Amino acid sequence: MIENQITEKVIGCAIKVHQNLGPGLLESAYQECLFYELKKEGLKVEKEKPLPLIYEDVKLECGYRLDLLVEDTIIVEIKSVEALNDIHLAQVLTYLKLNNSRIGLLINFNVLQLVKGLKRVINKYKN
């Protein structure tokens, strides 16, 4: 399955979760429901995947965790905030770089229409 097909499925599942739950819940609730929907779609999904930081030749366990990693390719970062801002985007870009991934989805469920809380993020410098 190619990246665009995976992101379409993730977005479709996120819309379904948002339609059923609406805005105003904790990130963890959306994460669990989205994880469930993605698994139901037959996608390989890892939740709270540890993400080490490698500095020079040292692997540092800094406590970074990916909300969801779909098909070993797409990083999904879930938020439930008033508005997405630059720090949220920077977080996803950093995760993409550390995981050597190309595509990330930043999803803010705390909006009336999910399309207004969705950003597709591309790591132009993937190794």
pTM: 0.93
How many helices and strands in the chain, by DSSP H and E? Answer: 3, 7
Is 102 within 8 Å of 126 (Cβ atoms)? yes
Domain ranges of the chain: 3-122
CB 18 within 8 A of CB 78: no
Task: Return d(Cα 18, Cα 114) in angstroms, integer.
Answer: 7
Q: pLDDT tens for residues 26-35?
A: 999 999 999 9
d(CA 77, CA 96): 11
Q: What distance in Å separates the CA atoms of residue 63 and residue 48, rounded to the nearest whole number?
A: 10
Span 4-41, pLDDT tens digits? 999 999 999 999 999 999 999 999 999 999 999 999 99
